[in-house]
Amino acid sequence: MPVHPIEYRYGTREMKRVWTEESKLLYMLKVEVALATAEADLNIIPEAAAKQIAHAAEKVNVKRVREIEKGISHDVMAVVQAVSEQLSVGADYVHYGATSSDIIDTALSLQLQDSFRILVTKLKKLRSVLVNLADENKLRVCAGRTHGQIAVPTTYGMRFAVWALEIDRHLQRIWEARSRIEVGQITGAVGTQAAFGKRGVEVQARTLELLGLRSVEVSTQVIQRDRYAEYVMLLANLATTLEKVFTEIRTLQRSEIGEISEGFGKGQVGSSTMPHKRNPIKSEQICGLARVVRSFVMPALENNILWDERDLTNSSSERIIFPEATILTDHIATLATNVLGNLQFHDSNIKRNLNLMRGLNMSEAVMIQLANKIGRQRAHEVVRLASMRAYESDETLVNALLKEPAVTEHLTKEQLEWITRPENYIGTAVQQVESVVALLRQEECPE
């Protein structure tokens, strides 16, 4: 009976497949086979034995491994015995010279490698959607906000460009981190490779060459957990970006703002009691699950604090945090792409909010123009006092300014009306967006 929501509610098929019990066993068997092959290549074990081990590994299944583990209470030895019992000869060469963590940690690195490949593909798609939105909305002027209050205008293109570049930085971080994270080890009981005699470095190098992983430079019985903490922090950082983006989308979908909204299916139900509701449930799901991903950072960091050459305190938590953090991050990245690809814009509300403050949000534009005539500090005070009076009297900024001799001496009503039009005060927004779009579209092109 399913218990965890990942089993039936969250996660994509391709990412969950990487983290199934069956897949974990296959990764471990792949390491055992590579080890035997490497040892045969180096004439440490007979070549025939390595081939027999590879053939035997194909016959091992989760059910049998579970049965063995139930009796011996050791997961890796259960795999070793499951392979060995398939052999008439050569059983003594299975797992030759290795320790359990050589298999577990190296198999984990293979899982992380495949997870990265899936996640990078998803993030490139998400980046592309954001780039397109930036390009399509570079002229869609809207109210900027600081401290939750309406500020000078910006454009929706600017917002999407900022987010697109942030996703691009996550892709760069992943690229930079993979060389530190996608590593394996064949180092033995405490990292000295003593069981391999003088051939330990060669065994490790050849095994990991066969697996497509880099070798650790040095380790204890385990690969040091700072590498895996970095992996979890990468996921947490990405999830936090997604929460930031979709918190903004939820805010902009609020009834009193109503500038954009999630797509809403024809038969979709928003509330069990309020038939009119169109709730941003996908954005809320992204925000909620991002918090779960972030919560794994602390145990991931604490897993690096092991006694001496190792203890087992990391093992139990890692069985939870790696699959959950990876599957949930992939899930919300996929969901983010879907939501952004189906955003709805409500231009009448965007225009309404731009004009909501009767021109007060354009006070900086007036101040800058007036500063050229009477100096910046005096201009700021004149416009500030006029703005405060406009707040209190519910009049427009232009009308309030027309009562100021320091203003009317230099600016006409027609000039003030032009200055306070939002579309006339977006600076280099279009230029900046076009630059970002060109940069990121160039990165999308094949080399």
- Residues identified as active-site: 147, 271
Residue 355, Ramachandran bin (φ over 0: left; ψ between -120 and 50: alpha; else beta): alpha
Give the span between the Cα atoms of 87 and 427, in whole angstroms. 74
Which residue is it, tokens 């699959």? 323
CB 397 within 8 Å of CB 411: no
Residue 273, Ramachandran bin (φ over 0: left; ψ between -120 and 50: alpha; else beta): alpha
Give the span between the Cα atoms of 253 and 262, in whole angstroms. 8
SS3 of residue 187 by DSSP? coil
Give the span between the Cα atoms of 109 and 100, in whole angstroms. 14
Give the span between the Cα atoms of 37 and 372, in whole angstroms. 78
Give the span between the Cα atoms of 126 and 264, in whole angstroms. 20
C-alpha distance from residue 365 to each of 11, 155, 391 (Å): 48, 16, 17
CB 243 within 8 Å of CB 166: no
CA angle at residue 330 from 303 to 156, to 5 degrees? 120
First-to-final CA distance of the chain: 48
Buried b (16+ CB within 10 A) or exposed e, 179-211: eebbbbbbbbbebebebbeebbebbbebbbebb
Among 234, 237, 228, which residue's Cα sits nearest to residue 300?
Answer: 228
C-alpha distance from residue 229 to each of 58, 111, 225, 303, 442 (Å): 33, 15, 6, 8, 32
DSSP state of 93: G
> What is the residue-wise DSSP string for 306-355?
-STT--SHHHHHHHHHHHHHHHHHHHHHHHHHHHHHT-EE-HHHHHHHHS
Q: Answer positive or negative: Cα dihedral of 348, 350, 351, 355.
A: positive
CB 373 within 8 Å of CB 415: no
